[in-house]
Amino acid sequence: MIVNVILAILVLSVIIIVHEFGHFIVAKANGVTVLEFALGFGPKLIHFKKGETVYSIKLLPFGGACMMEGEDGESENEHAFGKAKLPRRMLIVCAGALMNFLVGFLIVLAVMRPNGPNGGYIVSTISEVNPASTAAADGGLEAGDEILKIDGYHILVRTDFD
């Protein structure tokens, strides 16, 4: 139970870091001053400053922030978020969600990677054949067989059987 909670917090933290990093990297690329890049809420546990940005890990790991100059109010700084042109601000705001989609896509590619000599994707491999199944025996199915097609339709993932 406690291991599941720790794993859930770690997964959530990775999702948050990826999301906030999207805002961070696009803001930096567009010349917007990032004041703080933080994982978590509450008091700072660990922090250091590099350039104009404070990098921190905070007590409660349920969130994060990429705080930019002029994001919450007016700022006279020419590198403030509010001084950036509208398309750049829109890109900075959307970058967090775009990074989450990109990482999700990369995870799907990693999980659905080609395998076997013929390429393809994760397919259903028969682990055992029920001895009581005459249809399986008549069809010649054996343990270790991979089902690649049914009635001419390619089987790409296990759920294609549903």
Residue 67, Ramachandran bin (φ over 0: left; ψ between -120 and 50: alpha; else beta): beta
Which amino acid is residue 110, in one-letter code? A
Q: Which two structure tokens, joined as six digits, stand for 40?
A: 């978590």
Beta strands in 51-119 (DSSP E): 53-68
Structure tokens of 27? 């803001």
Classify residue 8 by its DSSP letter: H
Q: Could you give the CA distance from residue 34 to residue 81 in angstroms, rounded to a whole number?
A: 9
Residue 45 phi/psi, 5-degree rounding, is -95, -45
Active site residue: 20, 36, 74, 78, which one? 20
E-state strands within 51-108: 53-68
Q: Among this protein's residues, is 20 annotated catalytic? A: yes
Name the residues annotated as catalytic: 20
